[in-house]
Amino acid sequence: MNERGLPAALEQALEPVALQHGFELVAVEIAGGAGSPIVRIYLDREGGVDLDAIASADPWLTEALEDQPELSAAYTLEVSSPGIERPLRTRAHFERFIGSQARVKTTRPIHERSSFTGTIVELRADDVVLDCDGTLYEIPVQVIRKANLKYDFDSAHDKGVRR
């Protein structure tokens, strides 16, 4: 399988199960070595997720993963909220967070850059439009290698938000 092969296969299998349990499957990552992989599953739901929600998801995720032939070896399951700098993996994620700051890395250069940090302005056809310091970049969704929200801790501190 390619780099996204196993995570993509697991996302496809787990997404309907997560929806049945009232969760959004944000992302699946595989980390660690082939001999002892770590399967990281990021879940969210309306109002966010807390420790009880994460704990309640473990049994049905474990059961769903047992049916996956790609995970024939032993693995460690980690279930988490997507966090404050959540991954952006789908068109719907980018649409949901229009107006938010994001960090985007691409598989190939766009205007001689492959790393962008800016505000998500809109989606045009199959492009994410980012405003990076006043310059608009149209980044094709299919060349986005990794993207996540970028939380501005300094701005939050300036507004009186405690860290």
Pairing of strands 76-80, 38-44: parallel
Q: Is the pLDDT of residue 3 over 50?
A: no
The mean pLDDT value of the chain amounts to: 88
pTM of the model: 0.77
Question: Do both 48 and 67 map to the same domain?
Answer: yes
Number of domains in the chain: 2
Q: Is the pLDDT of residue 106 over 90?
A: yes
Q: Which residue has tokens 């993996």?
A: 89
Question: Do both 60 and 24 map to the same domain?
Answer: yes
Residue finishing a domain among 54, 80, 106 = 80
pLDDT of residue 4: 61
SS (H, E, C) 31-100: ECCCCCCEEEEEEECCCCCCHHHHHHHHHHHHHHHHCCHHHCCCCEEEEECCCCCCECCCHHHHHHCCCC
Question: Do both 76 and 130 map to the same domain?
Answer: no
Question: Do both 103 and 76 map to the same domain?
Answer: no
pLDDT of residue 57: 95
Within a domain: 163: no
Residue 102 belongs to domain spanning: 91-155
Within a domain: 102: yes
Question: Do both 117 and 95 map to the same domain?
Answer: yes
Q: Is the pLDDT of residue 163 over 50?
A: no
Average pLDDT over residues 72-97: 90
Question: Do both 59 and 107 map to the same domain?
Answer: no
Pairing of strands 135-140, 127-132: antiparallel
Q: Which residue has tokens 């800016």?
A: 118
Question: Do both 47 and 111 map to the same domain?
Answer: no
Q: Is the pLDDT of residue 43 over 80?
A: yes
Q: Is the pLDDT of residue 121 over 90?
A: yes
Question: Do both 9 and 73 map to the same domain?
Answer: yes
Question: Do both 123 and 151 map to the same domain?
Answer: yes
